[in-house]
Amino acid sequence: MKKFERIYQDLEAKIKSGIYPTSTLLPSENELTKIYDVSRGTIRQSLDMLEKHGYINKQQGKGNIVLNHAAYTFPISGIKSYKEIAQEYQFSVETKVILNKRIKVPAFILEVIDIDPDEEFIHLIRVRYIHDKVEIIDHDLIRASVIPEIPDDVANNSIYEYFEDDLGLTISYAHKEFFAEKATELDQDYFEINADDFVITVNSFVYLNDTTFFQFTASRHRLETFKFQEIARR
Amino acid sequence: MKKFERIYQDLEAKIKSGIYPTSTLLPSENELTKIYDVSRGTIRQSLDMLEKHGYINKQQGKGNIVLNHAAYTFPISGIKSYKEIAQEYQFSVETKVILNKRIKVPAFILEVIDIDPDEEFIHLIRVRYIHDKVEIIDHDLIRASVIPEIPDDVANNSIYEYFEDDLGLTISYAHKEFFAEKATELDQDYFEINADDFVITVNSFVYLNDTTFFQFTASRHRLETFKFQEIARR
DNA sequence: ATAGATTTGTCCGTATGTATG
DNA sequence: GCATACATACGGACAAATCTA
């Protein structure tokens, strides 16, 4: 592992365990170079990660202050699979696959992404149960020229693990948007709501490391339980 | 201005104007050091900013690929004032102040933030009209020990300009969350909706550079027009 | 399949600028 | 004014990924 990652994890652990308590200063960058026996640039890389993840606030002339915000959750921000989130927050989860078939590329994708109109996609619909209640309905559209098929046992587990570990793909970034919209019939059936109720839709356009588009996901959430958190910086 | 900021802005302008077109590579870091006559570290700082703002994708061994995503909007992400957003997207905006008075610190803030129960806050309610329609209702709770009062002409303009330019405060970061909830009576009146309708609430806890909490904002948006976008990285 | 060239990533050391107390 | 701490910038070295001949 890289030095700055190792140091980041060490500092993160020490903040979490209270060795560096909230609203106190971390050791100065100079002291940290001595503690870890690395250059100041390396320390600064680790501190930048800590800041990005909300653990500290940097202040020129003063020091790096430990915050207590990092405990907050980031369930939607970033690119994480449902399985990763479930493991982090340890809630009981069940997934039911209700569709897994090849289709022609949908029109709305053709409008946004420049691809061959004859390309095929895999359409996957999965219903997520948390505490025996349907909380999320995931629609995945996966580019078949990149991933020819999704075995059913993979669909029931983590398609991201399959992409990254088995197929060796590198997922790089996603363009996400979310908003509220009227419930579809499928939403009504599974969420047990009415036609004039709303759901929250999280749309993601996911890209590989070489910038090829390979997946669109629409996650539909109950209004009452959806929540998004982030730390924004000026 | 700092060198890396100047270079960032120059590259951003060249990407926007098409001098560096989408899906081509930027000049290599080595070439850029010659173009701008700075060190490679400085160039890399500028490139990191470009990546963070979604203009490029970095690939070790290959280069920095120009993306076409940066045109997308970021109306909620980050800390921006309503005025700044309105200016960027050039929509016609009107603000109406419907409350501006001092109150005791509300209970829900005491629960989350560790402050004196006798402290006072300024409660500001402002209604935002876009194209002559109410789109946003902003509730601001501003810590009176930091900002004793908000003159009415400031409330009608930008309170952030007032904080930063006139009072010399430095806003550092905010903890944000958003979710859907039932419309209050005020929502119903101004949005002209019903009691069982929902609105989107964006809550922000805003902190100064020295980590003192100084403002809470609840922005209430219409369900139909609310939209959030971001670029997430794995 | 391999070797070499190119490009970005990591790391080091040093110097100077700027904000804080 | 002074010491301390973070911010910016420079230059050099090697590692890792990518592409090409």
Predicted pLDDT at A75? 44
Per-residue pLDDT band at A78 (split at 50, 70, 90) = low
Angle at B4 between CA B88 and CA B233, to 5 degrees: 65
Per-residue pLDDT band at A130 (split at 50, 70, 90) = confident
Q: Cβ(A155)–Cβ(A162) under 8 Å?
A: no
Q: For residue A74, is pLDDT > 60?
A: no
Cβ atoms < 10 Å from Cβ of A54: 20
Give the whole-angstrom CA distance, residue A159 versus residue A95.
12
Question: b vs e for B66-78, b when ≥16 Cβ sit within 10 Å of the residue's Cβ?
Answer: bbebbeeebebee
Q: How far is A206 from chain B (nearest CA, A)?
A: 9
Structure tokens at B59: 């690939």
Predicted pLDDT at B226? 83
pTM given for the model? 0.84
Q: For residue A72, is pLDDT > 70?
A: no
B46 phi and psi angles, rounded to 5 deg: -65, -40
Q: At what angle do helices A3-16 and A29-36 cross, to 10 degrees?
A: 110
Residues 6+ apart with CB under 8 A from A166: none
Per-residue pLDDT band at A114 (split at 50, 70, 90) = confident
Number of H helices, E strands in chain A: 8, 9
Distance measured from the CA of protein residue B169 to the C1' of nucleotide C14, in angstroms? 34
Q: Cβ(B163)–Cβ(B171) under 8 Å?
A: yes
Which of A171, A211, A233 has its CB closest to that of B173? Answer: A233
Which of B198, B204, B211 has its CB closest to that of A223? Answer: B198
Tens of pLDDT, residue by residue, chain B (234 residues) = 899 999 999 999 999 999 999 989 999 999 999 999 999 999 999 999 999 988 999 999 999 999 976 555 444 455 566 666 666 666 677 889 999 999 999 999 998 888 889 999 999 999 998 888 898 999 999 999 888 889 988 888 778 888 887 888 888 888 888 889 999 999 999 999 999 999 999 888 888 888 889 899 999 999 888 877 777 776
Q: Picking from A16-25, A190-199, B9-18, B61-70, which range would have the lowest pLDDT averaged per residue? A: B61-70
Q: At what angle do helices B29-36 and B3-16 cross, to 10 degrees?
A: 110
Residue type, A56: I
B35-44: long-range pairs with CB below 8 Å, 24+: B36/B3, B36/B7, B36/B10, B38/B3, B38/B7, B42/B3, B42/B4, B42/B7, B43/B4, B43/B7
Helix (H, G, I), strand (E, B) or coil at B23: coil
Distance of CA A139 to the CA centre of its chain: 16
Work out if A64's Cβ lies within 7 angstroms of strand D. Answer: yes
Distance measured from the CA of protein residue B210 to the C1' of nucleotide C21, in angstroms? 13
Among B179, B177, B169, B178, CA closest to B210: B169
Q: Cβ(B72)–Cβ(B54) under 8 Å?
A: yes
> Any idea how long chain A is?
234
Per-residue pLDDT band at A76 (split at 50, 70, 90) = very low
Predicted pLDDT at B73? 46
> A179 and B230: CB-CB below 8 Å?
no
Which of B57, B178, B210 has its CB closest to that of A211? Answer: B57
Interface probe with B: pick from A58, A175, A205, A210, most Cβ of B within 10 Å:
A175
Structure tokens at A140: 């995945």
Structure tokens at B4: 């890396």
Write out the E strands in A84-132: 93-104, 120-130
Return the DSSP state at B166: I
Q: To the nearest 10°, the Cα dihedral for A126, A128, A133, A137? A: -60
> Which nucleotide, over all strands, has the C1' atom closest to the CA of A5?
C10
- Residues of chain B (24-43) having a beta carbon less than 7 angstroms from strand D: 37-42
Give the whole-angstrom CA distance, residue B23 versus residue B56.
9
Give the whole-angstrom CA distance, residue A121 versus residue A170.
19
% of chain A surpassing 90 pLDDT:
50
